[in-house]
Amino acid sequence: MKILITGGAGYIGSHTCVELLNAGYEIIVVDNLLNSKAESLNRVRQITGKDFKFHQIDLLERAALDTVFFENSIDAVIHFAGLKAVGESVSLPLWYYHNNITGTLRLCEVMKKYGVKKLVFSSSATVYGVPNTVPISEDFSLGATNPYGRTKQMIEEILRDLNVSDHEWSVALLRYFNPIGAHKSGQIGEDPNNIPSNLLPYIAQVAVGKVNELKVFGNDYPTKDGTGVRDYIHVVDLAIGHLKALEKVLGFKGVDAYNLGTGKGYSVLEMIHTFETVSGRKIPYQIVERRPGDIGICFANPLKAKQELGWVAIRGVEEMCKDSWRWQANNPNGYENTKIFTNVK
Ligand code: NAD
Ligand code: UD1
């Protein structure tokens, strides 16, 4: 079974490549390396002991993508490729709409041409916008609040329309909550280009001494300690979720959305303290104003994924923080100038 993985060199994509290879799938990766390094794929080869094809292609280049489909008999696609920074999407909306939406349109056009109608798509919990209650179920109303989130919401609609036009299409829309952590080997992980805006990579950079202190965005939310609560999910659990979703789209027809989260919420302070415990490093922090656009509390109801995909997240926050720390300590500069520190277990 041959699976095309768009955006496979990125954070979640590279972890999913490992799980697919370990499960015996043949994979082909396309990525323009806009937000990733080819080194991540070398590490995937090292971890799995398996080789695969990589094409440095932009999804917007239809002819190049067409050639990949022409030369390979592809059975299904897992589509990670996209831009994902919320703040950047507010400043550069046209780029985000063009890259994420036109990129998906090109991909679907080529898939249609070659009769490949099975797709797993990276959506996001961000499509729910500001939920009225928690936990969040898939049937909650959608209302993304920024251009990035709107690209995900629009793509979900496009894929539903595609299935209405042709019932042979089979699509899983995976709404991720907050992916963190890294592969146990410490060889692949999240490698943000600049100063990270998400909590865990920021904490990890404070721990390794690249940044002095963390700013905690508000402690006056109606949560256990006043700081924001999120549903953090281990990236390896998330990757396994893709395997389950792939099995589903290969065996059934239709379009369905699934929350991929743990169903548990942790506050910013709880995450800081857990990270301090597992790393043995102090994380200096300062409470500052709320971040504009932030919500107080967000966590999933993951029951549908359990019932329909047979998937449950099993890794807890300690393991997530431990694995993030191992990756960060082994690779303080991400995939560049890597130095392996053997004292981090
Ligand atoms: P990432 O940036 O690490 O990976 C995305 C990959 O897509 C990158 O390697 C990038 O180079 C590639 N890419 C972008 N545009 C492309 C194009 N036009 N053609 C070819 N390749 C292109 O991000 P990630 O964290 O691994 O996220 C993967 C997907 O999951 C994204 O679609 C993202 O929006 C979604 N998602 C991520 C999170 C998260 O917190 N990481 C949460 C929810 C949803
Ligand atoms: C962000 C994105 C969301 C995306 C999600 C997962 C925004 C507005 N939303 O959400 O679209 O789906 O990441 O990638 O960016 N925090 C701090 N200090 C920091 C960073 C974060 O206190 O330096 C707090 C936040 O206020 C929040 C929690 O940590 O309470 C998690 O933040 P973050 O990792 O950015 O994720 P989300 O806010 O869920």
- Whether residues 8 and 45 share a domain: the answer is yes
Q: Which residues are catalytic?
A: 148
Number of independent structural domains in the chain: 2
226 occurs within a structural domain: yes
Q: State the DSSP string of 59-87.
A: TT-HHHHHHHHHHS---EEEE--S---HH
Token couple for 180: 């963190």
- Average pLDDT (124-149) is 97
Decide whether any atom of ligand 2 lies within 6 Å of the 86 Cβ: yes
Cis amide bond preceding 135, omega within 30: yes
- What pLDDT is stored for residue 103 in this prediction? 98
Give the pLDDT confidence of 20-41 residue by residue, as tens digits: 999 999 999 999 999 999 999 9
Does residue 343 carry a pLDDT above 50?
Answer: no
Q: Please report, for the domain that includes residue 152, its CATH number.
A: 3.40.50.720
The minimum-distance atom of ligand 1 relative to the CA of 179 is 40
Decide whether any atom of ligand 2 lies within 6 Å of the 202 Cβ: yes
* Domain around 240: 2-180+232-260
Q: Which of 260, 264, 263 is nearest to 245 (CA)?
A: 260
Q: Please report, for the domain that includes residue 218, its CATH number.
A: 3.90.25.10
Give the separation between CA 324 and CA 207, rounded to whole angstroms.
11
Decide whether any atom of ligand 1 lies within 6 Å of the 36 Cβ: yes
Cα-Cα-Cα-Cα dihedral sign, residues 217, 222, 226, 227: negative
**How far does the centroid of ligand 1 lie from the alpha carbon of residue 234, in Å?**
16
302 occurs within a structural domain: yes
User: Whose Cα sits closest to atom 39 in ligand 1?
Assistant: 179
Cα distances (Å, whole numbers) of residue 41 to 11, 137, 145, 187: 11, 34, 33, 10
341 occurs within a structural domain: no
- What pLDDT is stored for residue 193 in this prediction? 82
- Whether residues 21 and 55 share a domain: the answer is yes
pTM score of the predicted model? 0.97
Decide whether any atom of ligand 2 lies within 6 Å of the 144 Cβ: no
Give the pLDDT confidence of 198-214 residue by residue, as tens digits: 999 999 999 999 999 99
DSSP H/E element including 14: helix 11-22
Give the pLDDT confidence of 216-244 residue by residue, as tens digits: 999 999 999 999 999 999 999 999 999 99
- Average pLDDT (86-93) is 95
